[in-house]
């Protein structure tokens, strides 16, 4: 079990004080004498003490929760239903791994699209060459490259790389097919 830190111990002490005050109020109400003045004052004093202790515990709990480790709500429900938290951790790690793989695939697809689009803009509008290179460099790309080279580096078909310069242009316009990367004219 993890060691108990000072904040946690303070919270436990506060709970112990609250329980003691509740028992004191319970004893006062059982022995309450409606006609006797000392009973009324003692009960009122015990209720005020309970109120002060509850307020202090509420403040301590809020501070402890703000600085303590965050435990996800689904984990609480998982354990309350009698399931093993280690299984929850394993399932969570598998889910994060899957999500990371999907995100990585999307990132690579967008990077390949960025490079193909930059190349197409570079060849179609040479007057924007400097702007295209600046945008590609700002987004982490190497710069516009021929689509045939991109297909070879992204895992697409590499038959266009040996066919010469005209095959690269055909691949960019949609004639060569690819791994889902193309221009608007090819789709």
DSSP 8-state secondary structure symbol assigned to residue 3: P
List where CATH 1.10.287 sits in the chain.
6-70
- Quote the pLDDT of residue 175: 42
**Closest of 145, 142, 154 to residue 172, by C-alpha:** 145
Asked if residue 179 lies in contact with residue 154, where contact means CB atoms within 8 angstroms, the answer is yes
Cα 147 from Cα 160, distance rounded (Å): 9
- Quote the pLDDT of residue 38: 73
Query: CATH fold of 6-70, please?
Result: Helix Hairpins (1.10.287)
Residue 61's contacts (CB-CB under 8 Å, 6 or more residues apart) are 11, 14
What is the chain's Cα-based Rg?
35
- Quote the pLDDT of residue 111: 93
Mean pLDDT of the chain: 75
- Quote the pLDDT of residue 92: 92
Q: What is the pLDDT of residues 55-80, one digit of tens each?
A: 888 887 777 666 666 778 888 888 88
95 CB burial (10 A radius; 0-12, 13-18, 19+): exposed
């Amino acid at each position: 079990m993890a060691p108990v830190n000072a904040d946690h111990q303070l919270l436990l002490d506060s709970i112990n004080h609250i329980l003691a005050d509740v028992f004191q109020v319970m004893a006062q109400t059982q022995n309450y004498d409606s006609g006797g003045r000392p009973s009324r004052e003692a009960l009122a004093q015990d209720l005020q003490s309970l109120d002060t202790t509850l307020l202090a515990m509420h403040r301590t709990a809020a501070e402890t929760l703000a600085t303590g480790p965050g435990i996800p709500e689904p984990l609480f429900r998982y354990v309350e239903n009698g399931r093993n938290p280690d299984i929850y951790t394993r399932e969570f790690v598998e889910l994060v791994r899957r999500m990371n793989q999907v995100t990585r695939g999307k990132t690579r697809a967008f990077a390949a699209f960025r490079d193909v689009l930059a190349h197409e803009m570079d060849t179609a509008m040479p007057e924007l060459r400097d702007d295209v290179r600046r945008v590609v460099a700002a987004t982490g790309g190497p710069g516009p490259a021929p689509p045939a080279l991109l297909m070879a580096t992204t895992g697409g078909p590499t038959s266009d790389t040996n066919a010469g310069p005209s095959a690269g242009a055909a691949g960019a316009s949609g004639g060569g097919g690819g791994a889902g990367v193309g221009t608007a004219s090819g789709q």
